[in-house]
C-alpha cells in the first residue's frame, strides 16, 4: 500500500507540475521581463564537492557577483529530489503568483475521488455487457443491461445519456435504472462519451453538426439503439431516450431528429433543442435560458421533464422551454398538482394532454433542488436521494405513451 501510495503521489506531483509549467508556455501575461542578453548558465547546478573529495584543494577567491550567484544557486531546490519545491521556486523567480502546493493538494484530494464508480452487484442471470458502434461520425462504446427477467421475449429499450464527467457505470449506479429494468422488464443501454470528443465527457449538444439528422453524435446514438434492436428482440414501439444535463440536452436533440425511432423522451436538468451553436451561446443558455427556442418536435412524441428550481448549473427556465418547444403551440389546459416526498423535496407536476387524454408531456419542478438526478443513489455522481424518483416516474410515463 505504501509503495502504491508513493507512486500515486509521484504521478500526481509530476502531472501537477507539468500542468503548471505547460500553462506558462505562450502566455504573454505570465512571461518575466528578462534582462538584455542574460548570461547563459545551467539552471541545475552541479553538486558541491565535499572536503573528503578535495582535501588539499584551495578554494579560489570568488568575485562578489559570483558569490551572490553561487548563493542563489545553492538556494535552488534540487529538481530530482524536491520537484514540487523546484517548480514553485521557478514560478516565484518568474514573478508568477501560483501556489503550487495548494494546487497539488487539490489534485491529491481529487485523486481519491476519481476512482471508477464500482458497478452495482448484478442479480443472478443479469448481464451488463460492453459493446461498440461505429459509423461515419465516429465510434462510441456503450454498456447494455440485460435483466435476469429476459428469457427471449420482446422488451422495451431505454437509451440513457450520462452527464458531463460521468460514464455508464456511474450513471447506472446513480440513477438505479438497472434495478428498475429488472422490475419493469426492459433493456437499458448507456452510450459513453469519450474524452477525445469532449474533454469533460459532455455530449456536444451545442455544436451545429451535432444537431442534424444523420450527422454527428445523434447519428451515433441512434445507431447504437438500432444495433441493439437488430441484436435483441426489442419492442420497436417502446424505444425511449433520456439523459441528464448535457445528456438531457442531447436526448432532446436525438428524440427530435429521430421521432420514427424514439417513442418518447426523458429530460433531466437539460436544455431545449438547438439552444446553442457554440460555447458562448451554450453558457448563455445554461445561465438564463434561450431567448427564442426553435420550434421542434410534435405531439406524437411525448416528453417528461425534471428540473430543480434551485439549479445553478442549468437555469430552470430551460425546463420550461423544453416543454414549450415540444408542445409547439398547443394550448390545451394542463393539470397541475403539488406534492412532497416524505423527508424529501416538494414538487409541482404539470401534465399536458390532448383533448382525448393522450399524454403530451409532464413537467416536474422540484422545489429547493439543484443539479442532480432526483431519487438517485448517493454512490453515483450528481444525485439527490430526496426524490421524487425521476427514474421510476420516467418509466411510468413511457409506459403510458406506448
pLDDT in tens, 31-81: 434 434 333 332 333 334 434 434 444 444 444 444 444 444 445 555 444
Question: How many residues comprise the chain?
Answer: 402
Domain count for the chain:
2
Task: Give dist(CA 29, CA 197) in Å, integer.
Answer: 30
Q: Which residues pair with 339 in a beta bridge?
A: 347
Note if the pTM is more than 0.95: no
Residues 92 and 148 in one domain: no
Residue 381 lies in a domain: yes
Residues 77 and 174 in one domain: no
Residue 221 lies in a domain: yes
Among candidate residues 115, 135, 151, the one where a domain is terminated:
115
What pLDDT was estimated at residue 119? 64
Residue 47 lies in a domain: no
Q: Which helix (H) or strand (E) holds 5?
A: helix 2-22
Residues 309 and 160 in one domain: yes
CB 362 within 8 A of CB 305: yes
What pLDDT was estimated at residue 356? 83
Helix (H, G, I), strand (E, B) or coil at 362: strand
Does 314 have pLDDT greater than 90? Answer: yes
Residues 240 and 357 in one domain: yes
Assign residue 397 the CATH number of its domain: 3.40.50.1820
Residues 95 and 137 in one domain: no
Residues 190 and 77 in one domain: no
Residues 87 and 220 in one domain: no
Residues 320 and 267 in one domain: yes
Residues 109 and 153 in one domain: no
Helix (H, G, I), strand (E, B) or coil at 175: helix
Residue 332 lies in a domain: yes
Residue 201 lies in a domain: yes
Per the structure, the complete domain to which residue 299 belongs is given by: 127-401
Does 95 have pLDDT greater than 60? Answer: no
* Mean pLDDT score of the chain: 78
Residue 48 lies in a domain: no
Neighbouring C-alpha atoms within 13 Å toward the C-beta of 395: 23
Residues 141 and 211 in one domain: yes
> pLDDT band for position 214 (50/70/90)?
very high
- Say which residue, 292 or 379, is predicted with more confidence: 379
Residues 301 and 177 in one domain: yes
> pLDDT band for position 2 (50/70/90)?
very low
Residues 83 and 167 in one domain: no
Residue 7 lies in a domain: yes
Residue 389 lies in a domain: yes
Amino acid at each position: 500500500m505504501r509503495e502504491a501510495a508513493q507512486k500515486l503521489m509521484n504521478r500526481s506531483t509530476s502531472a501537477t507540475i507539468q500542468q503548471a509549467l505547460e500553462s506558462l508556455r505562450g502566455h504573454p501575461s505570465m512571461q518575466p521581463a528578462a534582462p538584455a542578453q542574460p548570461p547563459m548558465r545551467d539552471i541545475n547546478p552541479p553538486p558541491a564537492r565535499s572536503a573528503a573529495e578535495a582535501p588539499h584543494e584551495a578554494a579560489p577567491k570568488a568575485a562578489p557577483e559570483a558569490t551572490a550567484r553561487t548563493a542563489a544557486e545553492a538556494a535552488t531546490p534540487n529538481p530530482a529530489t524536491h520537484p514540487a519545491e523546484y517548480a514553485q521556486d521557478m514560478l516565484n523567480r518568474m514573478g508568477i503568483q501560483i501556489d503550487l502546493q495548494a494546487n497539488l493538494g487539490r489534485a491529491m484530494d481529487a485523486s481519491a475521488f476519481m476512482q471508477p464508480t464500482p458497478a452495482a452487484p448484478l442479480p443472478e442471470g443479469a448481464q451488463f455487457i460492453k459493446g461498440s458502434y461505429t459509423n461515419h461520425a465516429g465510434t462510441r462504446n456503450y454498456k447494455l443491461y440485460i435483466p435476469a427477467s429476459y428469457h427471449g421475449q420482446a422488451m422495451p429499450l431505454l437509451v440513457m445519456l450520462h452527464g458531463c464527467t460521468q460514464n455508464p457505470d456511474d450513471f447506472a449506479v446513480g440513477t438505479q435504472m438497472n434495478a428498475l429494468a429488472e422490475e419493469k422488464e426492459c433493456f437499458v443501454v448507456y452510450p459513453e462519451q469519450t474524452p477525445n470528443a469532449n474533454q469533460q465527457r459532455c455530449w456536444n449538444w451545442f455544436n451545429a453538426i451535432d444537431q442534424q439528422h444523420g450527422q454527428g453524435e445523434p447519428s451515433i446514438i441512434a445507431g447504437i439503439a438500432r444495433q441493439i434492436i437488430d441484436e435483441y428482440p426489442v419492442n420497436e414501439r417502446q424505444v425511449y431516450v433520456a439523459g441528464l444535463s448535457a445528456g438531457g440536452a442531447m436526448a432532446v436533440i436525438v428524440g427530435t431528429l429521430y421521432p420514427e425511432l424514439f417513442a418518447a423522451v426523458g429530460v433531466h436538468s437539460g436544455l431545449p433543442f438547438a439552444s446553442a451553436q457554440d460555447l458562448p451561446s451554450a453558457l448563455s443558455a445554461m445561465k438564463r435560458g434561450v431567448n427564442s427556442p426553435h420550434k421542434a418536435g410534435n405531439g406524437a412524441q411525448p416528453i417528461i421533464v425534471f428540473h430543480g428550481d434551485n439549479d445553478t448549473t442549468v437555469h430552470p427556465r430551460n425546463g420550461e422551454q423544453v416543454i414549450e418547444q415540444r408542445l409547439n403551440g398547443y394550448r390545451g389546459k394542463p393539470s397541475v398538482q403539488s406534492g412532497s416526498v416524505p423527508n424529501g423535496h416538494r414538487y409541482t407536476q404539470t401534465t399536458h394532454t390532448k383533448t382525448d387524454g393522450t399524454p403530451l408531456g409532464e413537467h416536474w419542478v422540484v422545489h429547493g433542488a439543484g443539479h442532480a438526478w432526483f431519487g438517485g443513489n448517493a454512490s453515483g455522481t450528481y444525485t439527490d436521494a430526496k426524490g421524487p424518483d425521476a427514474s421510476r416516474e420516467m418509466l411510468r410515463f413511457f409506459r403510458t405513451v406506448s
